[in-house]
Chain A
């Protein structure tokens, strides 16, 4: 299965600033997924990042708040913009290599906004 390198692993940020999270995959994948996991909760899909087109956002998530880049088939970034303490969460990227295989997740970025 694919190996994903996600960074940073954690960060503490001031409110009003932005943080960009990077995910690098060791193989080419069509779609990459970005999730948020709030404390004590399960994963919530933010958006699906496709190479060569705009990301598809889920209900409740907008591009101005979570801009995504997907410059090629092995890399994607998620930016958390104008952060507030409510954005404190774990953010994860993920890929799926065929519907009969499970998802592979990055190790996550633990974000704390103060």
Chain B
């Protein structure tokens, strides 16, 4: 049973448009949730990390939200650019001493 699920599996948007990626998790207890961007053939790069008490966190054009009650997170990308084309991975950590659990990722393609 997947403990971290992401939707959509893939997404194509026009350059300049906004989009929102979803992450639902069943992990409990919960320590923090992270969003990563992974360009093709490269290692993931951290975008945001949110703890239980944080509702929103921004990193440039990326804004992540977290609802710990419903166990949902979203990553909103504003004014998309061609360089945003990548896989976006939601990662959840149970406690400070646990390993992380990776979601399957959302593949985003931004087209001109």
Residues in chain A within 8 A of chain B (CB atoms): 1, 4, 6, 41-45, 48, 90, 92, 94, 99-108, 110
Bound CA span A104–B34, Å: 12
Q: Among B44, B49, B97, which residue has its beta carbon within 8 angstroms of that of A105? A: B44
Bound CA span A100–B54, Å: 12
In the complex, the answer to whether B51 meets A42 with C-beta atoms within 8 Å is no
In the complex, the answer to whether B105 meets A104 with C-beta atoms within 8 Å is no
Interface size class of B (residues with CB under 8 A): 20 to 34
Encoded as 1 (CB less than 8 Å from any A CB) or 0, chain B from 36 to 51 comes to 1000011111100101
Given A42-B103, A43-B102, A45-B99: A103 touches B41 (CB 8 Å cut-off): no
Residues in chain B within 8 A of chain A (CB atoms): 31-32, 34, 36, 41-46, 49, 51, 89, 91, 93, 96-97, 99-100, 102-105
Q: Would you list 26 pairs from A and B whose C-beta atoms are within 8 A, ordered by A residue? A: A6-B43, A42-B89, A42-B104, A43-B44, A45-B99, A48-B99, A92-B44, A94-B43, A99-B31, A99-B32, A99-B93, A100-B32, A100-B49, A101-B49, A102-B46, A102-B49, A102-B91, A103-B34, A103-B91, A104-B46, A105-B43, A105-B45, A107-B43, A108-B41, A108-B42, A108-B43
Closest 10 CB pairs of A and B: A105-B43, A102-B46, A99-B96, A42-B102, A108-B43, A102-B49, A102-B34, A42-B104, A43-B102, A107-B43
